[in-house]
Structure 1
């Protein structure tokens, strides 16, 4: 009995973070690295002091209480009506810290508590994460004394709209999920990352599966919307009242939709199912075997995992990708990394026999051709790597004075187009070669200003491009949207640049590492070089930082996350990072490690 009373007393003193299982234990808010910790809110005690009201409300915002009912008890009735926690989430580096209250003023009776913190991100009503360069947060909470039958109680009558959370609370409560839409005019899918609640959404009371389906049916995020399409008929939503869905013992899921979905034909329905199946794969630790779409109690169509692969964003060939690199003699060489030892095999043709000595390369996604830049970074060649031949004339030539002011490493997109940047300060250009063999066409980059492109990496889906931009001695990572015009895609532009890693001020290498993830080499101001994963929306976590590696000049990742990362380190040579292990040297001398793409 004394133990129980002690627990109750602790709960009454404030909100407690309680694990789902094990011994009851009081912990502070914002626990780090404890994914099983859940926060349960409690109402304010009678005659609570203003400080208690503010602290209790900030803690209650981190809970999963239905519709934030307990958090609303700290508000006046009018403030509770107008507060919409589902509208947005402001993410601070650490939990918001209320400072000493400002006393009542003639124009504003009551107490105002400024909230201090460092804002690092914002999540909008469409669940899209938007990182920002860290900046001081300037929100505040205002309290008044509200009279009731028992006297006067302090309550909050003015507060920031939405939620305000520290990053660790945000990471504990939310998870990143890719929802999928079709690239405009194409039959392959594009990942659109959003954040949903890990467990039950306090506002909708939906579990994570139904949340993911709902945000998919709501349509793409604003940034991606111009270049993707959803094939669901307009107005399609989950059947009314559906808040929870479960996979059966064969890992299949029936998805009940409203009558709008019944308008879809068979072919359209299969594509709808593909959008759902790829979206749901992020939510389960095991393979999603089948999705069946239902409307008005009848089956519309079903699609299994193997059938869905025809819509895969990486256009998978069915065989695992192997990395390539340029050896010490300038030859393009394939690495076989399946076992303990590493086999080296020069490719067939002029890139493998030494006829064309290379400095940087890109291998096409079908592994039949490669694009190579010579060792002076002056000329770009395209050649077969499965048949002998002559490298031919260069398809692009730079007139830059120094090697670092000439051609970047090339990159292939999912359309089979080849991209490269000419870094010549006198005439900087981003170029695209249609089909990898057409005449180079300059690609306009909207919003680039005076920055110069140092590196270019195009996604497998062909609708996003990662650019390293240098401006005033600072190299940053930007993601651009690739828009294709004039029907046949003869005109292409890159628009809507957004910072993907505002916390990094010196980015030296980047590679796509799946449908919505990048692996980046860079450092924060005053920090040391890091290798880390970053989502294309700019979100990251402590777990995304990879084992340390010194002097990394290049990084490569496969679309298949089961393949190891490969890097070029001035200290260790060409290295790989197998799952659960540390970096291992594969080749002591070489450069430009790449996977197809």
Structure 2
């Protein structure tokens, strides 16, 4: 309940200026006006003789400010609580700002010296001390703030909060105003042949100066990079920064010079890095900062305790983002009305003219129903139209269609094989949806005996569809359970030897808990998905979802312009390439950045980008 906002805060709208009225009634205002990221809230200390309800409201409002060190915010707390309260321990995100109710009934003997209020709301997300975001199915939130009368410096008794949970509690609009999502980058673990695939690890940092560290956004981002990967991603990635590497003491601002060169002063721990490792460290910094509009960095120079360690520019950093792609713009592939695979060249700027691919998938006798193209665009995997058999064939050479590499024994087409997906290592993934024995399968390099992959977090559900991320360490799963299909993200862990690998999908996380029925997914770039689904009782929508389950900061809800009856979506690793969708009524349509949906093909199914 925000009933005394003006008592707790001063609000300044940076987008425009106006005269200050000097007469008239004081009215309550919301410190954060939804969708306006330029609203800035300044904390104001509690007034003398403030009632307990004013203390609680002022404290809640002050938490939504950029109060340096939360010094003013702490003035609402008792002397002991002000010393022990840890606002950086995490953030609880509610649908709206918390409601305040009370006071709670107290002992008549103590009602003049203590009281309490209850904070309630609907909890939808939590951000931990590592700045890692986790969406939650909406749950009830309830927390008690206890207040006592305490003698101030002037000797007067004032109400103050003496029992308060660590961390912040914010409504969604405040959270989106105060924080932004950034990707920090690490290297995928256990890669062979000198590969160095960068993996995005999304976290949330303050839009402006962080109240606790006093660091600007770029510096916060570099600090969290140096602190290492989040716990969820840690088992499958590595950092090249030596253990203990941190920013040099006292560094609170990082900005490129007039040549767009960013110098990053590190402590002496960084001196342990070899030159090769240092260049990889610099690449981590470059990729981490590339999306920050406040830091246009063309070159990074790392400085250790003994001076300059190494430098790397944006062109040189490209070698560290290597993947198994074709090296050119991704083409689009689809299955025509006759079950043949066709290709739309990625080099054309208009709608393109489809052409039948070389080889048995384009000219063979078996009609195909779904498709997955390897990232190098040299091979493709296709499932027969009846969903029973998986075939792998080259796309650049003629020949006969080889025997299927996987066959499902399920009786119904819908219970057989899912569309296939390739990872960046050239391995092929597919799900057999047979109710008698559902399996997630992996074929090394798309051939040989399929290996069953354990998914311990399914809890009775089964995989309906899957998509591998470009980095190969995350997998998006559509999991059907209790009549609903939801989106979950899993971590791909690789153990054992090369001869006897042990692969499992661990620690499944709900990625779009607000959607009770998800029908289609596709990765879009390194850390984002396109999702087609419905909220409970709602209509179908196409929206972007971050890999951590949060809504991209570029839009209020991440929902894309309307398109009807979407059955499948396809997005590329390159986010500048158009988003494609297969619809029931309009055929295959595409959405280019800044444009509206346009029909590309009136007939065709299973349109995909490589991956």
Q: TM-score, normalised by structure 1?
A: 0.95
Secondary structure of 1:365's aligned partner: coil
Match for residue 55 of structure 2? Answer: 53
Alignment of structure 1 residues 227-376 onto 2, 5 Å: 227-284=236-293, 288-296=297-305, 298-312=307-321, 314-336=323-345, 338-376=348-386
Deviation at 1:438, TM superposition (A): 2.2
Q: Distance in 2 between matches of 1:175 and 1:12?
A: 26
Report the counterpart of residue 491 of structure 1 in structure 2: 502
Taking the TM superposition and a 5 Å limit, the aligned residue runs for 1:551-562 are 551-562=565-576
Aligned to 1:585: 599
Distance change (3 Å), C-alpha of 1:48 and 1:398:
same
Aligned to 1:4: none
Are 1:50 and 1:143, in contact at CA under 8 Å, matched by a contact in 2? yes
Cα distance change, pair 325–499 in 1 and its aligned pair in 2 (3 A): same
Pairing of 1:128-527 with structure 2 (within 5 A): 128-148=132-152, 149-186=154-191, 187-284=196-293, 288-296=297-305, 298-312=307-321, 314-336=323-345, 338-488=348-498, 490-527=501-538
Question: Secondary structure in 1 aligned to 2:126?
Answer: strand
1:287–1:568 distance in 2 versus 1, CA, 3 Å: farther
8 A Cα contact 1:11 1:42, kept in partner: no
Where does structure 1 lack aligned partners over 5 or more consecutive residues? Answer: 1-9
Distance 1:189 1:503 in 2: 30
Shift of 1:277: 1.1
- The SS at the match of 2:71 is helix
Match of 2:7 among 13, 16, 19: 13
| Aligned with 1:35 (options 34, 37, 41) | 37
TM-score (norm 2): 0.93
Aligned to 2:90: 88
- 1:487 Cα offset (Å): 3.2
Q: Paired residue for 2:124, among 116, 120, 125?
A: 120
When residues 313 and 80 of structure 1 are mapped into structure 2, their CA distance, relative to the original with a 3 A threshold, is farther
Q: Cα offset for 1:27? A: 5.1
**SS at the partner of 2:87?**
coil
Q: Structure 2 CA distance, aligned partners of 1:522 and 1:11?
A: 38
RMSD: 1.8
1:546 counterpart = 2:560: yes
Shift of 1:106: 6.8
Q: 1:316: how far off?
A: 4.9
Could you tell me how far apart the structure 1 residues matched to 2:399 and 2:277 are?
Answer: 44
Task: Determine helix, strand or coil for the equivalent of 1:90.
Answer: strand
- CA change 1:341–1:538 in 2 (3 A) is closer
2-structure distance, mates of 1:14, 1:274: 44
Displacement after TM superposition at 1:424 (Å)? 0.3
Q: Size of the alignment, in residue pairs?
A: 588
Output the CA distance in 1 between the equivalents of 2:332 and 2:297. Answer: 28
Question: Any idea what SS the aligned residue of 1:73 has?
Answer: helix
Shift of 1:364: 0.5
Give the distance between the partners of 1:591 and 1:249, measured in 2 at CA. Answer: 50
Deviations for 1:172-198, whole angstroms, at most 9, x for unmatched residues?
A: 000111111111123211111111111
C-alpha change, 1:279 and 1:60, in structure 2 (3 Å) is same
Deviation at residue 152 of structure 1 after TM alignment? 1.6
